[in-house]
A = this chain, B = another copy of it.
C-alpha cells in the first residue's frame, strides 16, 4: 500500500499520520496473520517497544486495528475493515493454529448468535477456534 493510501486510512480515523504510524500501519497491512507486539518489534530494524505499544493502542482506540485474545497470552492485532465499528454484529471468528502458532481473522465467518439467559445484556463477544490451519493440516 502506498503512502497516500496509508495516510488516508489514518486521516479517516482522525489519527495524525506521523512517520512512525505510517511505518507501523504499513507493516500491519503486509501481514497475512494477526501480529503480536513482539512479532512486529522483530520485523523492524530498530524500534522502541513502548512506542510501538502506544501506536497500537492509538490504532485500536480509533478502530484502525482490533486486538485478538487468542488465549496464548500475547494479544494479536489485525487491521479492521474499512468503516468497521467493532460492534458485536461486525465481529468475526478467529482461528489459532496450534502448529504454526499463527492467528487468523476469519473475516467471512461471523460469530453465531447465542441467546443469553433472561436479562443478560450482550455488549461484546470473543470466539476463538483452535486447531490446524490449512497449511498445517496437510
| A-to-B contact residues, CB < 8 Å | 69, 71, 93, 95, 98, 106, 109, 111-114, 116-134, 137
| A125 surroundings in chain B (CB, below 8 A) | 127-130
Number of this chain's copies in the assembly equals 2
| A121 surroundings in chain B (CB, below 8 A) | 131-132, 137
Residue of B nearest to A128 (CB): B126
Contact of A98 (CB < 8 Å), options: B95, B98, B123, B127? B123
| A109 surroundings in chain B (CB, below 8 A) | 114, 116-117
Compute how far the CA of A98 lies from the CA of B130 in the bound complex, rounded to whole angstroms. Answer: 25
Contact of A134 (CB < 8 Å), options: B111, B112, B113, B117? B117
